[in-house]
Amino acid sequence: MTLEMKPIGEVVEGRMEVADDYWGGVESVIQLDETEFPLDSVQGLAEFSHLVVVWHFDRASPSDVEYHARSPRGNTQWPATGTFAHRNHRRPNQLAQSFPRLLKVDGLSLRVTDLDAVAGTKIYDLSPYFTEMGPRGTVHEPAWPGEMLADYWTDNS
């Protein structure tokens, strides 16, 4: 079975260049499709602090997908890990999810910060973040993601 999806919106303001780090302080605007969605489709959304946003790495090529184990960012000091232990564009469907802070709802325009998608990125789904739907139990991970992402949310200005 094949799943076909069409975007529900697009990032229309924000960072222009793709980069591995320095996403802190970036404000973006997600514009939902005004021809598809009525204004009341976002009713109540402003009461939430964060969103779950699903988007596509549409600047990457399907030829970028890699199924084999590899060191994150090509750094051999970090262990080679398989495709499903990565959160980058080299994944099979090149989908990503981010958890931006919602700053303002203005009609079908959503101003957010901490969205690590560039202007022009198509948005395929969004919902409010519910604490109750977050991880249950103790969260654990190896050291390398923290090392790799040490500057990810550092302010670029």
Q: What band does 157 get if pLDDT is binned at 50, 70 and 90?
A: low
Q: What is the mean pLDDT of the chain?
A: 91
What stretch of H or E contains 11? strand 9-13
Question: What are 3's two structure tokens?
Answer: 């799943």
Q: Can you say how many angstroms the Cα of residue 10 is from the centroid of all Cα atoms in its chain? A: 12
Average pLDDT over residues 133-144: 93
pLDDT digits (tens, 9 = 90+) for 23-73: 788 899 999 999 999 999 999 999 999 999 999 988 888 888 888 898 888
Q: H/E element holding 147?
A: helix 144-148
Q: Select the more confidently predicted residue: 79 or 10.
A: 10
Please state, in angstroms and rounded to a whole number, the distance separating the CA atoms of residues 101 and 121. 18
What is the value of pTM for the model shown? 0.89
Residue ranges of the domains in the chain? 9-148
pLDDT recorded at residue 91: 85
Mean per-residue pLDDT for 132-142? 94
The DSSP call for residue 100 is: P
Mean pLDDT, rounded, for 71-77: 87
Candidates 25, 7, 39, 31; CA nearest to 110 is 31
Query: Which amino acid is it at 145?
Result: P
Top mean-pLDDT range of 8-22, 28-42, 82-96: 28-42
150 — alpha (psi -120 to 50), left (phi > 0) or beta? alpha
CATH 3.30.70.20 at 9-148, yes or no: no
Q: How far is CA 84 from CA 45, 69, 81, 92, 139, in A?
A: 31, 9, 8, 9, 17
